[in-house]
Structure 1
């Protein structure tokens, strides 16, 4: 790759776009394989905003859709031998913020309708609970394979009302109703993955879903999002040299500067030092050090 034209995936959260567009991709696919073949088929991951949760979700989607060509040269290509194609239901809750009861219900129905269209399914069921149940059953019947459900930012519709006594219970009941099929449809589900910012139990949405594994603080998943110092040294080796040249310092000095600005995240113990990916990629793209993550809020 011509490093004068190095493309950094700033704000790009779609695995397919990064791979087809020849953007820099820090290989996290070993974690995808580990999750897909773990003891639990229900997994939850909490990380701060702009830490790569959506990209990880998109990577899982590509994997479960059997899109082997996107994983060429990555760890998962060596690990996986079957590449079974599953029906995938991918729901992004991030646009469900700042909505009232009617707005949130419309948003959920809109997402269900878009997902139904992917499978050529038509439905007029008005209740989101029954409609999601129906979608899972019909996707299973249509393909003959268990269904994968990916829910990104599960808690987004509730974050701005988390401390409101009046609105929180109303919106929480809507979301609890929407998510409840995840337990009822267990025989039809191959894998369920949810991401969020808050603790999984904090908003009391999943009182019934007691079979989910929270990997947020497990040592084996400490580096699932973000960029470790080892990943930066190996997968961004030439990038470091170019940034050092642009800052007019040597490589050792540029590593120290990056560490001082963007290092220091630890999600478990023991944990490698995790660099904020949004800040790090912006620094490499701009050739300067700035408070990118803080400024984005």
Structure 2
């Protein structure tokens, strides 16, 4: 068996990655193109998508570390390997919850640079003049144009999304740091800034209006992340090892990786891009887990969903959007779509030349997103929610539908009443969240058929259950609607793994508005 690659789990430093012999998905052709085309760039990508590694790669390239790039595309492209003074500022990995914490951090970073170039700080907390003086001194001392690389520029602003007044103060503080960069264009070799979100240039970069924003440029769509071609051409032994470890065929493993981690499109003509963090963890550990989501969901996202009362079901189906609706400055947005898109919870699913369709990129994001919403629609007790999901999932897995419905009835009865939010749509969404969390089943809500939409479909290994909930009607009316609308028809040829027809079951459920839980139900095979 071929020797398996050593993947750089948790390594975002290019030099360490190369010296440790870790596998690197070669993006250096794009690095060369970028550094020889323009001087000022901005790129936004979701967290854990390789932005820090890209910044580190640029740093080592501009430091002239030719030996680190042996065997990579740029080795044949670059002839000079000139060394530049590189200024690498990273806001990643820090929590900025007040002005003092940001000032302490920025003072620390600039003091380090002042020591390196023997510059005396005469401007105290005036970040712009201090940074300009350091850059000018570096230029004079080396006779070479400085390079400025800024990683996660927006970390202080994302930390304060739910405190607009504090965010404005931190925004002004960050803006001071960047203020000299445009006027110094004549002596700067290269400026590159990354972040998750897109704050308006006027609010952050002040006069720095000459940034080339490549976030949605087709030629740089794959500069972060791993494409389908890169995965299937370069990682076959690792995919086979994953398949062997999970009793799958090679093709089944490919399909599982695609369904769980693929689906990102950052431009109109973007190739299929896999979440790199989840993918290399899955291949390294030979497990199909929710690695990216386990690293944390920004609480601001769930707050935004609540605030704007967005139905999570719509993300599953995909919804139409103009470019201005999602590629927009975060702080001026009147809905959560820009934040959801820029954070990686929504992506471009289609573009027809006129409008975009946005939706969940893959199963990992869908599951994680749904789980983060559950406390809002059910109870704040995450353990209670998770225990319920375990019990109802087991009931579905064992085809004990009656028990599954009893579990649901008891769970709904335990949810504290909130008159403001518990209307019909609230409960329909809650049914959707419950069904979605009952993995590993294919679960659909309001699944479209030629005649109409059913409320929920749960597909197990041996059966397909089509549910119709009547919040203001009877069980008989619910069953009649399943028949009259032909909701079962699309599943009449569904097969199990042995090629046998799956059992088709229709489930009519009425909702007891007074008790705020399931009333009656009827199961018909």
Matched residue, 2:389: none
1:171 aligns with 2:178: no
Matched residue, 1:45: 43
Question: RCO greater where, 1 or 2, for CA within 8 Å and sep 6 or more?
Answer: 1
8 Å CA contact 2:97–2:160 kept in 1: the answer is no
1:8 aligns with 2:29: no
The Cα shift of 1:82 comes to 1.0
Map 1:1-297 → 2, pairs under 5 A: 3=3, 6-38=5-37, 40-117=38-115, 119-125=116-122, 126=124, 127-201=126-200, 204-297=203-296
8 Å CA contact 1:86–1:147 kept in 2: the answer is yes
SS in 2 for 1:194: strand
8 Å CA contact 1:94–1:157 kept in 2: the answer is no
8 Å CA contact 1:266–1:272 kept in 2: the answer is yes
8 Å CA contact 1:88–1:150 kept in 2: the answer is yes
| Distance across 2 between alignment mates of 1:65 and 1:84 | 7
| Distance across 2 between alignment mates of 1:295 and 1:232 | 22
- Which consecutive segments of 4 or more residues in structure 1 shift more than 4 A? none
Structure 2 portions without partners, runs of 5+: 297-525
The Cα shift of 1:258 comes to 0.4
Q: Which deviates the most, 156-165 or 221-230?
A: 156-165
Structure number, greater radius of gyration: 2
The Cα shift of 1:16 comes to 0.3
* Deviation string, structure 1 residues 169-218 (Cα, Å, up to 9, x no partner): 21111111111011121111000000001114278211311100000001
TM-score norm. by structure 2 comes to 0.54
More helix by share: 1
| Distance across 1 between alignment mates of 2:205 and 2:238 | 43
8 Å CA contact 2:96–2:155 kept in 1: the answer is no
Provide the aligned C-alpha RMSD in A.
1.7
SS in 1 for 2:194: strand
Structure 1 portions without partners, runs of 5+: none
Q: Which deviates the most, 162-171 or 63-72?
A: 162-171
* Deviation string, structure 1 residues 117-167 (Cα, Å, up to 9, x no partner): 4x3424223121111001100110111011100000011111121342321
| Distance across 2 between alignment mates of 1:208 and 1:124 | 24
SS in 1 for 2:41: strand
8 Å CA contact 1:46–1:216 kept in 2: the answer is yes
| Distance across 2 between alignment mates of 1:183 and 1:95 | 27
8 Å CA contact 1:91–1:111 kept in 2: the answer is yes
8 Å CA contact 2:2–2:237 kept in 1: the answer is no
| Distance across 1 between alignment mates of 2:140 and 2:287 | 53
8 Å CA contact 1:96–1:104 kept in 2: the answer is no
| Distance across 2 between alignment mates of 1:221 and 1:204 | 25
| Distance across 2 between alignment mates of 1:236 and 1:116 | 45
8 Å CA contact 2:119–2:134 kept in 1: the answer is no
- Tell me the matched-pair count: 294
SS in 2 for 1:114: helix
SS in 2 for 1:195: strand
SS in 1 for 2:203: coil
8 Å CA contact 1:87–1:147 kept in 2: the answer is yes
SS in 2 for 1:269: coil
| Distance across 2 between alignment mates of 1:200 and 1:98 | 17
* Deviation string, structure 1 residues 83-139 (Cα, Å, up to 9, x no partner): 11111000001244323222211211111122334x342422312111100110011
The Cα shift of 1:243 comes to 1.9
8 Å CA contact 1:172–1:203 kept in 2: the answer is no
